[in-house]
Amino acid sequence: MHLALNGYFLNQPTTGTGQYTYHLLRELQDLWDGDISVIIPGNETTARPEGFDRCKFLIAKPPWHGGMGKVWFEYAAVAKAAQAAGADVLHVPYFGPPIGSNVPIVVTIHDLLQLVVPSLKGGPLVRLYNQFAILGARHADFLLADSEYTQRDVERVLRVPSTQVQTVYLACESRFNPESAVGEQERLASRYGLEGEYLLYTGGLDLRKNVATLIRAYARSGVATPLAIAGATRSRSRQFPDLQAVAQAEGVIDRVRFLGWVEEDDKPALYRHCLAFVFPSTNEGFGLTPLEAMACGAPVLCSNASSLPEVVGDAAVTFDPHDVPALADLIRSVVQDGELRARLSAQGPVQAQRFSWRQTAEQTVEAYHRAIAVFHGTAA
């Protein structure tokens, strides 16, 4: 059996899709009983990602740069390359599948936020791109969703039958664990000025991440423990509120530490040494960030919205992301109650161990075989 995989994001490890593609492919090298071809954009000098000795990389050179080159790659080059390679199944690991193919197609849909959140729908070109993605997903032989919440969105928004889509959860890397390394706290103090106790948020700073609500709740809580916010504003659009102005208006600008972009290698240490991690997002396709925090033993306060309850289970205290007074009370409680922190810190790693990239890959291989059966009309 021959697997072809769209590797567009494989060289972009800081993106969620890039991380998913990387870890899935690492596991597939052990599980897939056959050839693996990875299709990537570029030219003769494009670097092949390391650690994939079992994979053959097929280079597709876009005739245009930028967005048009990406569209050409997704809707023309990938399906053509998979067919030319003699692939038995093609996996597109994000919401960008070709519209039809001579090879069975599996598509992973991480979320449909750009379709269900009005502020994320974008301009005419973005909406046109999304319409092509919708058509491609409807023509695919099988779909994977990161959570039951996303699966329900897929069935409802894309209008596909439940027999055509399956929830396959993600996981976090093994480096996210409670074991501290020598010099971690000193590095956090040197790089980010974090000395002593601190509350932590890491992730995006756009509106749906709801960080302004966190700042308001933190101000209302009255706690003296600093709040560290890690993340970078990607634009000055309405999607990215001025959080420093919010902190200033709430009178806590002196206690909120804006860390900016943090190195991926520093994230486990940030989680391990925080007093508690707070995640107030209103919409997530999966919720990898709170899972990473739990895996590191951080006490977690997490929104009860969208997919997040599926991920955190009973190992976090959940809250309504729009209820500022309730979140303020929780922040005060987690700062003052050592027993609560100890219980959450112990439960988090146990919950995180329920998710593994090996399990993700095993279920994905099953989906490949289902797609092949659907394509050839042999599905039960």
* C-alpha span between 348 and 150 (Å, rounded): 23
The one-letter amino acid code at 98 reads P
Q: What are the chain's domains?
A: 2-171+357-375 (3.40.50.2000), 184-352 (3.40.50.2000)
Torsions phi, psi of 155, nearest 5? -65, -40
**Burial bucket for residue 173 (CB in 10 Å: 0-12, 13-18, 19+):** middle
At residue 63, the 3 state secondary structure works out as coil
Query: How far from chain centre, in Å, is Cα 174?
Result: 16
Count of CB atoms situated within 10 Å of the CB of 328: 20
From first to last of its 380 residues, what are the pLDDT tens digits of the chain? 999 999 999 988 888 999 999 999 999 999 999 999 999 999 888 888 889 999 999 999 988 888 899 999 999 999 999 999 999 999 999 999 999 899 999 999 999 999 988 878 888 988 999 999 999 999 999 999 999 999 999 999 999 999 999 999 999 999 999 999 888 999 999 999 999 999 999 999 999 999 999 999 999 999 999 999 999 876 666 788 999 999 999 999 999 999 999 999 999 999 999 999 999 999 999 999 999 999 999 999 999 999 999 999 999 999 999 999 999 999 999 999 999 999 999 999 999 999 999 999 999 999 999 999 999 988 76
Phi then psi for residue 65, to 5 deg, are -95, 165
Whole-angstrom distance, CA of residue 307 vs CA of residue 295: 18
pTM of the shown model: 0.94
- Cα angle: 111, vertex 373, 82; to 5 degrees: 70
